[in-house]
Amino acid sequence: MNLKQVTGAAVLVCAATFGFSPAMAQNTSVAPQSPQTLAAQRQALGTMMKVMTVDYQQTRLEAVLKNIADVTGAPLVVLWADDRNQVGLDKETLVTFGAVDQTALTVLEGVLAQAGGDPSLGGASWQMTEGGQIEVGPKQRLNRTRRLEIYDISDLLLEVPDYNSVPQFDLNSALQASSGGGGGGSSPFSGGGTQTNQNMGKPEAERADEVIRIIVDLVEPDQWTNNGGSAATVRYYKKQLLVTAPDYIQRQINGYPFWPAEQTQVSQDAKSRKVTLLPPKSPRVVQTAKVPPAPANQPAATAGTKPVEPQKP
């Protein structure tokens, strides 16, 4: 699924068109993300590409996340449960998790999958903030911050018509006309005419509904209002989808605009869709050429030395 994001003034125009309620406007960003925001987010996410080998054995969650932050230098903002917020991660949760030569982001996601709270309530995840920090916590808490993204799906709606009433070409008629010389005569084409029976396929609105259904069924299905959730909404408007959702949901739809496509891996099956962010490929050069060994009767030259010439008599 390749969705092209539309940014700029169109975001504000569509927000005004659909008239978001004041309650939604308080925690929903409708302004396009600035280059400074995207640069800060890319820098923060880059720190999580550091490779780690860990072996947490019944370790407190607070100590685990502190270890990840200390090793990577990543700006993690952990949403803990406290007196002010009952919804949050529990510092005392014990974690048993191991990984060998994995990115810190992979380690973080593995830890959250194990210690992220009640799965029936959505579990836990991470997302980028507007300030370039990495927010970690239960999805219930992450849902408090949402933004509007507009995705151009015109290429997904395109359907080539099936013309089933086409003119027939009479080769014999064409050969007789050419052998007779001169122009004029009847046309070698017959039939066809107006394409009244062409198959135009499904209506555009119906095809758009199918795209929406794929998204809400594969990307965090429990969070969409279409499925009874309250965290994300999607509407169709003039070949575009208007998606209001937390960052972790937007990421699963189209990745991040600041992260290279070759470092974004999409895995999808009949039940879910997952976007995995990968580190850049290693710049190391691997030597594959074979160097032939020196002849057995000739000693190999030693680097940094010259052969001694015989002295003249």
Mind listing the pLDDT tens digit for each residue in 210-238? 999 999 999 999 999 999 999 999 999 99
E strand or H helix that includes residue 36 = helix 35-47
When pLDDT is cut at 50, 70 and 90, the band that residue 180 belongs to is low
pLDDT band at 7 (very low <50, low <70, confident <90, very high): very low
- In this predicted structure, the answer to whether residue 10 has a pLDDT above a threshold of 50 is no
Q: Kind and range of the H or E element at 28?
A: strand 28-29
Is the per-residue pLDDT at 295 higher than 70? no
pLDDT exceeds cutoff 60 at 172:
yes
DSSP string, 116-178: SS-GGGT-EEEEE-TTS-EEEEEHHHHTTSEEEEEEE-HHHH----B----PEE-HHHHHHHH
pLDDT of 21 over the 50 cut: no
C-alpha to C-alpha distance for 13 and 242, rounded to whole angstroms: 12
Among the listed ranges 12-21, 170-179, 232-241, which one has the minimum average pLDDT value? 12-21
pLDDT at residue 69 in the model: 97
Of the segments 233-247, 257-271, 291-305, which one has the largest average pLDDT value?
233-247
Beta strands per DSSP E along 172-223? 189-190
Q: How far apart are CA 181 and CA 183, in angstroms?
A: 7
Max mean pLDDT range (15-24, 145-154, 165-174): 145-154
CATH code: domain 34-138 is 3.55.50.30
Percent of residues, the chain, with pLDDT higher than 70: 67
More confident residue, 138 or 171: 138
Question: Could you tell me the residue ranges of all domains in the chain?
Answer: 1-32+146-159+203-279, 34-138, 161-201
Alpha carbon distance 106, 110 (integer Å)? 6
Smallest CA-to-CA distance from 256 within 101, 46, 72 is with: 46
Residue partners of 126: CB distance under 8 A and separation at least 6: 108, 109, 112, 134, 135, 136, 248
Mean pLDDT of 286-290: 42
pLDDT tens, 57-79? 999 999 999 999 999 999 999 99
Local confidence band at 293 (pLDDT 50, 70, 90 cut-offs): low
Return the H-helix or E-strand segment holding 56. strand 51-60
Under the banding of pLDDT at 50, 70 and 90, the label for residue 296 is low
Average pLDDT, the chain: 79
Measure the CA dihedral 278/217/234/141, to 10°: -60
Confidence category of residue 164, pLDDT binned at 50, 70, 90 = low
CA distances from 125 to 76, 220, 264 (A): 12, 11, 18
Residue 62 CA, chain-centre distance (Å), reads: 29
What per-residue confidence (pLDDT) applies to 284?
A: 46
